[in-house]
Amino acid sequence: MKQVKTLGLLGTGVIGGGWAARALHAGINVVASDIDPKMEEWIREAVDTASSSLHALTEGIDLPPKGNLTFTSDPTTMAQQSDFIQENIPEVLDIKRESLKIIADVTNEEIIISSSTSGFMPSELQEGMKFPERFIVGHPFNPVYLCPLVEIVGGKETSNNAKEIAKIFYQSIGMHTLMVRREVPGHISDRLQEAMWREILHTLNDDLATTGEIDESIVYGPGLRWSIMGMNQLYMMAGGKGGARHFIEQFGPALKWPWSHLKAPELTEKIINQFVEGTKSQAKGKTIREMEKVRDECLVAIQRVLAKHNMGAGKTLNEFKKSLNKSKNK
């Protein structure tokens, strides 16, 4: 496998900026491409903003020298300088397909092209692409520079080799790779998150709670547990000595009760206004940047505590440290 020394980014929004910060911090050079030249200033600011959190997260880890960031408005220039390409443009199928085709046409079959798409299946995106076997979905989570999960999904024409190369690269920049067994719209995590969001919108529409009260029901309760253990393991523990079987025997019948709506409500102006005005009130005048700073400090603290117990995202952080030590000792 060719070593990835330069990561190419197609699109430099929030997700693109997160990829850039994570890769640069791990010593990978980044060539960022966006048709809007003004985005160069934006992505450099995004990388600078993420820097302090990344340093706090990896304190005590002997990192390689930081990579170099360059910017171009020409995607083909980016593609020709890259060893691995990550696409992060808006979720519009035709635009993604056409943009991916342009960079695929100027790169050889060894260059893996990955999409950050939240919902499209890789088979939809690799249609008509040159060397489609090297295309995958590598779906990250915001903020990419602190959330280590990346879902790797192959399409009908994707080779196992491409998925393995992507896995090795993502792990080299400190990520936890989840190999999705087969493609499905929304992959895994987004489908689970969307199910909860549907219920949130119904709760707003039914005037059962405000956005703030709904968030309280999560952050003061189950949300505290979810970063430590997943729902399945937590439910097993909730079954006591009887474990998962006892839990299902006790709570399984409730699945037939009308607790959830399943289908999403119509996005009326009422729901939209409740959502927009409610979250604005929760922010209490803080800017998005100010809120991101608080979020990032908490994410760093949680992961460093988890690392002490070698659990969850903390385990990924420990594995990243070990891989860097192995590389230095070679």
Q: For residue 125, count other CB atoms closer than 10 A to its CB.
A: 24
Rounded to whole angstroms, what are the CA distances from 313 to 174, 192, 287, 309? 10, 19, 27, 10
Residue 197 has pLDDT above 90, yes or no: yes
Q: Judge whether 244 and 328 are in contact, CB under 8 Å.
A: no
User: Coil, strand or helix: which one is 152?
Assistant: strand
241 vs 99, residue with greater confidence? 99
pTM: 0.91
Measured distance CA(63)–CA(328) in Å, rounded: 10
Rounded to whole angstroms, what are the CA distances from 205 to 138, 140, 257? 34, 30, 20
- Stretch (H or E) spanning 5: none
Q: Judge whether 72 and 43 are in contact, CB under 8 Å.
A: no
Measured distance CA(126)–CA(99) in Å, rounded: 11
Give the range with max mean pLDDT: 205-214, 241-250, 260-269: 205-214
pLDDT tens-digit series, residues 25-55: 999 999 999 999 999 999 999 999 999 999 9
Phi first, then psi, for residue 150 (nearest 5°) are -135, 125
User: Given this model, what pLDDT does residue 330 score?
Assistant: 64
Q: Which residues pair with 135 in a beta bridge?
A: 113
User: Given this model, what pLDDT does residue 26 score?
Assistant: 96
The residue among 70, 95, 75 whose CA lies nearest residue 34 is 75
Measured distance CA(192)–CA(141) in Å, rounded: 13
Query: What residue ranges in 122-277 does DSSP mark as E strands?
Result: 135-139, 149-154, 176-179
Tell me which of 3-7, 26-30, 291-295 is least confident: 291-295
Residue 10 has pLDDT above 80, yes or no: yes
| Averaged pLDDT for residues 1-20 | 94
Q: Judge whether 240 and 248 are in contact, CB under 8 Å.
A: no
Residue 323 has pLDDT above 70, yes or no: yes
Q: Judge whether 18 and 57 are in contact, CB under 8 Å.
A: no
Rounded to whole angstroms, what are the CA distances from 138 to 5, 97, 222, 236? 18, 16, 28, 30
User: Given this model, what pLDDT does residue 206 score?
Assistant: 94
Q: Judge whether 115 and 100 are in contact, CB under 8 Å.
A: yes
Q: Judge whether 137 and 153 are in contact, CB under 8 Å.
A: yes
pLDDT tens-digit series, residues 112-146: 999 999 999 999 999 999 999 999 999 999 999 99
Question: Within 13 Å and on the Cβ side, how many CA atoms surround 104?
Answer: 23
| Averaged pLDDT for residues 65-84 | 97
Question: What distance separates the 2 farthest-apart alpha carbons in the chain?
Answer: 61
What structural domains and CATH numbers belong to the chain? 6-187 (3.40.50.720), 190-285 (1.10.1040.10)
Q: At what angle do helices 39-57 and 14-25 cross, to 10 degrees?
A: 50
Measured distance CA(146)–CA(317) in Å, rounded: 10
User: Given this model, what pLDDT does residue 329 score?
Assistant: 67
Q: Which two tokens stand for residue 100?
A: 């991916």
Q: Which residues pair with 69 in a beta bridge?
A: 30
Q: Which two tokens stand for residue 94?
A: 């035709």
